[in-house]
Amino acid sequence: MITKEELMKIQILHQQGRSQRAIAKELGISRNTVKRYLNPQIDRPIYPKRETKHSILDTFKPFLHSRIAQANPIHLSAVVLLREIKALGYKGSLSLLRQYLHQYRGSKPSPEVVRFETEVGQQMQVDWGQMRGGKHPIHAFIAVLGYSRAMYVVFTDNMRYDTMESCHRQCFDYFQGIPQEVWYDNMKTVVIERDAYGEGHHKLHQSFYQFAKSMNFIPKLCRPYRPQTKGKVERMVRYVRDDFYRPLSTQLSSFKQTLDLETANHEVKIWLENVAHQRIHDTTKEKPADRLKEERSSLQSLPPITTPVVDQLPKAGELPSVYVQYQEPLHHNLSVYDQLVEAV
């Protein structure tokens, strides 16, 4: 039995050129299962009907649940709980109890440590950062390629799904390709329910699920704020805030001007090209711009038939707010920023 997300992985890995044997090995399933689900006519898992089986533990599960909750955060061992439910009439084995407790509590493996360095073209990490300082919060969509450390930034006034998808499309256009995997944490526009089908098997947002399939990348979920798995982009959130957003917003405030979305998105592209991608990265000891040239050749090609995002936008008045419409001119002319640079 596989989940809907595993079906997506089978089809995407096949499109990426993996053999049936390699896919089966990576996902821990049989080659026959892989072969079955490579049929393009199958768009959802096929689940055989199973009879519900009753366990001799069923009668004692309510007691176990309340006992574990009452003792929290103290961990009660299976041996202790066995002794207590035996007094209530349990006749089963310790191994059966341990198997159930393992399932109920969830496995606790040693923390997964993903190597900081990833293969060229393999991974991208995505996160949102909130930039404070104005009357209304401004959100920063930040994506970082794992190998080159090149990144892309879009400032928005919301984190809705349509905004996130638009940011992804702009990002892939900027990088001139699509990585094999994209890592996220608990974004509601990505994952609806973590571990919905068991440990590590999540229920993805339906629109995002279709988008990932169409763009041919596999979404990966990690625990929030884990530097082992998504540290690259979390560091870049601070970098964008401290090296770009705060300096620019405070400089503009000295002119009694406020940094708005249009100006932020205009200036951040210049900052990426002239500052962020030209610095010598502390870990790679190379410029992200130089490594990006190498990584672009290993990224997956963009879909052969694509419609520019701007052509997909609704009519005026219905635009996703990442494309802010201004009824009046900018709060200030962009030449103000040039004056600030000259003054430094």
User: For residues 54 and 57, what is the distance between their CA atoms, to the nearest angstrom?
Assistant: 8
Tokens of 3: 């989940």
pLDDT at site 48 = 65
Tokens of 130: 């909130």
pLDDT at site 248 = 84
Phi then psi dihedrals of residue 155, to 5 deg = -95, 135
pLDDT at site 308 = 43
Cβ atoms of 185 and 232 closer than 8 Å? no
* Low-confidence spans in the chain with pLDDT less than 70: 1, 47-52, 107-117, 133-135, 194-202, 223-233, 305-344
pLDDT at site 207 = 92
For the chain, how far is it from start to end, CA to CA, in angstroms? 63
User: For residues 222 and 205, what is the distance between their CA atoms, to the nearest angstrom?
Assistant: 16
pLDDT at site 62 = 92
pLDDT at site 315 = 47
pLDDT at site 187 = 83
Cβ atoms of 56 and 92 closer than 8 Å? yes
User: For residues 21 and 27, what is the distance between their CA atoms, to the nearest angstrom?
Assistant: 10
pLDDT at site 342 = 47
With a CB cutoff of 8 Å and minimum separation 6, the contacts of 330 are 260, 262, 263
Is the pTM above the cut of 0.85?
no
pLDDT at site 122 = 92
